[in-house]
Amino acid sequence: MIKIGCCGFRGKRQDYFKNFEVVEIQQTFYKLPMLTTAKKWRKEAPKNFEYAMKAWQLITHKASSPTYRKAGIKIDEEKKDKYGFFKPTKEVFEAWEECSKFAEELKAKFIVFQCPSAFKETRENIENMKQFFSSIEKKFVFAWEPRAEWKMATIVDLCKEYNLIHCVDPFKNESYYGEPKYYRLHGIGGYNYDYSREELKKLLEICKKAKDIYCFFNNTKMLKNALEFKEMIKATM
pLDDT at 41: 97
Q: How much is the pLDDT for 227? A: 97
Which pLDDT score is estimated for 236? 83
State the pLDDT at residue 3.
Answer: 97
- Domain region containing 114: 2-236
pTM over 0.85, yes/no: yes
Tell me the C-alpha distance between 27 and 154, whole Å.
30
Strand-pair category, 164-166 with 181-185 = unpaired
pLDDT attached to residue 24: 98
DSSP 127-176: HHHHHHHHHS---SEEEEE--S---HHHHHHHHHHHTEEE-B-TTT----
How much is the pLDDT for 189? 87
Total of domains in the chain: 1
Rounded to whole angstroms, how far apart are CA atoms 21 and 19?
7
pLDDT at 237 exceeding the cut of 80: no
* Tens digits of residue pLDDT in 92-145: 999 999 999 999 999 999 999 999 999 999 999 999 999 999 999 999 999 999
Confidence label for 201 from pLDDT (cuts 50, 70 and 90): very high
pLDDT digits (tens, 9 = 90+) for 216-225: 999 999 999 9
What is the structure's pLDDT at 19?
Answer: 96
| pLDDT given for residue 35 in this prediction | 97
CATH code where residue 97 lies = 3.20.20.410
Percent above pLDDT 70 for the chain:
100
Mind listing the pLDDT tens digit for each residue in 40-97?
999 999 999 999 999 999 999 999 999 999 999 999 999 999 999 999 999 999 999 9
Task: State the pLDDT at residue 102.
Answer: 98
Number of helices and strands (H, E) in the chain? 10, 8
At residue 44, the pLDDT reads 96
